[in-house]
Structure 1
Amino acid sequence: MKYILILLLALLTTLSSCEKDDICDAATSTTPRLVIDFYDFNDPSTAKAVIDLTIIAEGMTDGITYQSSTLINGSTVSIPLKTTADQVKYRFILNYGSTTTSLTNEDDIEFNYIRSSLFVSRACGYKTVYELNQLNPYIWTDGATADELWIREIVLETRSITNENETHLEIFH
């Protein structure tokens, strides 16, 4: 009986010292990306896919990998904002890699924002959320003046970037 009591006490001590695993669930929201939808300039209610679009951050040589490719052929894209700076500049290059260089067209967009850290959980830590600058949320220029702007209009849908469930920016081309 004495041995059973000692064994039970040892088992109870062992179980009480166990700690719950801190694993961040994959479904937990992390630092959101900027969601951009592309629309037809001539018919603003119609989504319009971009053809062979690549998006390259300033200072980088490779485009953002999107669905295992750096070329985007769709009407929606999500791009990351820097977590260490209050601005990031991207080159939006349409028809990237085209054998006809006159079809390639580059526009630049610089995004200006304020970063905030938001505690998610002990397992996941913090995530960064963004608020686009109220006066100048973006600066849009032609990457190469000879090719003119392929982006015709940009509409800011929401300044707060807290999740990827909503469109933040609409680009008309």
Structure 2
Amino acid sequence: MNRFQKWLFLAGFIFLTLGCQRDDICPEGTETTSLLVIEFYDPLDPTRLKAVPNLMVRASGKEEILMGPTTVNTVSLPLRTDENFTEYIFTINSGSEEENADTVTFTYSPDLEYLNRACGYKVNYNSLDVAIHEDENNWILSETIIQESVENETEAHIYFTH
């Protein structure tokens, strides 16, 4: 091999190893781990959404506030990926004399789904269940599980009446 061929071979090798790498950016719009969607309804008319005044949500045992206080009829919350349960404290009328907190535990089976090298994994949650801890003055009156699997955020997974 002459000198020109060696340089051509070396340049080709460098181009192939450095110039043709896969793009490791996760494309926008790729599904990621979904949030749990909860809608709040009126117990007297279960077809009508009912806003929760000054709702504040925080994880049980944590001081930082996850959301609120805000008046909403739908919330989207993350579930823990390293456990099979997540516990939240939902506080209605936050900051007022009528403040009332309910503790709610969500249990599920986390299921890892491989997406691709750039995006990694997402977690789907199966066998969703919910328990409202009873106290002397629960403001969440009842719960209905609409979807037992949390795989997307397009529709509600749970309805609460209050």
Compute the TM-score of the two structures, normalised by the length of structure 2: 0.87
1:56-94 per-position Cα deviation (integer Å, ceiling 9, x unaligned): 1111012214xxxx3232211111111111111111100
The alignment status of 1:167 with 2:156, answered yes or no, reads yes
> Take 1:82 and 1:4, find their aligned partners in 2: how far apart are those partners?
60
Question: Which of 154, 159, 163 is matched with 2:143 structurally?
Answer: 154
- Cross-structure match for 1:89: 87
Alpha carbons 1:39, 1:46 under 8 Å: kept: yes
Structure 2: unaligned runs, 5 residues or longer:
none
User: For structure 1, which segment, 88-97 or 5-14, has the greater mean C-alpha deviation from structure 2 after superposition?
Assistant: 5-14
Instruction: Work out which of the residue numbers 125, 131, 138 in structure 2 matches 1:139.
Output: 131
Pairing 1:48–2:43 present: no
Deviates more, 1:11-20 or 1:156-165: 11-20
Alignment partner, residue 16 of structure 1: 16
Q: Give 1:71's aligned residue.
A: 69
Q: CA deviation at 1:120?
A: 0.9
Shift of 1:11: 5.3
Supply the RMSD in Å over aligned alpha carbons.
2.0
1:127 corresponds to: 122
Residue 163 of structure 1 aligns with an amino acid whose one-letter code is N
The match for 1:104 is 99
Amino acid at match of 1:96: S
SS at structure 2 position matched to 1:16: helix
In the other structure, the counterpart of 1:29 is: 31
Give the Cα–Cα distance (whole angstroms) in 2 for the partners of residues 78 and 114 of structure 1. Answer: 19
Q: Which runs of 5+ in 1 are unaligned?
A: none
TM-score when normalising by structure 1: 0.82
Q: What CA distance in whole angstroms lies between the structure 2 residues aligned with 1:63 and 1:131?
A: 26
Q: Distance in 1 between matches of 2:160 and 2:130?
A: 12
Q: State the alpha-carbon separation in 2 of the partners of residues 39 and 169 from structure 1.
A: 10
> d(CA) in 2 for partners of 1:141 and 1:3?
80
Structure ranking higher in strand proportion? 2
